[in-house]
Amino acid sequence: MLLPDNIHPELSIYYNGALVLDELRHKNCQSILQLFAKMKAKTDMSFSTFILCLDWLYLIDIAKINEKGDIEICS
């Protein structure tokens, strides 16, 4: 859910997407598994939520996959 009305906000894609974006700002170019491991350690985020966050960040043109297959912030 992007904006849930019946669950805790920390379970929303917006909130978790902001956490993923914050991690990408610390180190711009990371592999998907590297980034997920960092998010899992910080927030205990599930892989499906992580992928939905990456999808959301891609759709709003904030993150992309580069030629090497790593996740980076769009410039």
Which tens digit of pLDDT belongs to each residue from 31-75?
999 999 999 999 888 999 999 999 999 999 999 999 999 999 987
Half-sphere exposure of 22 (CA within 13 A, CB side): 10
Helix, strand, coil: what percent of the chain each, to 5?
55, 10, 35
* Residue 48 domain boundaries: 9-73
Q: How far is CA 7 from CA 3, 17, 27, 49, in A?
A: 9, 16, 31, 15
Does residue 5 have a pLDDT over 60?
yes
Within a domain: residue 2? no
Exposed/middle/buried for 63, CB within 10 Å: 0-12, 13-18, 19+?
buried
Domain count, the chain: 1
**Rounded distance between C-alpha atoms, residue 43 and residue 29, angstroms:** 20
Predicted pLDDT of residue 2: 57
d(CA 41, CA 63): 21
pLDDT mean over 8-18: 84
Global pTM? 0.84
Domain membership flag for residue 3: no
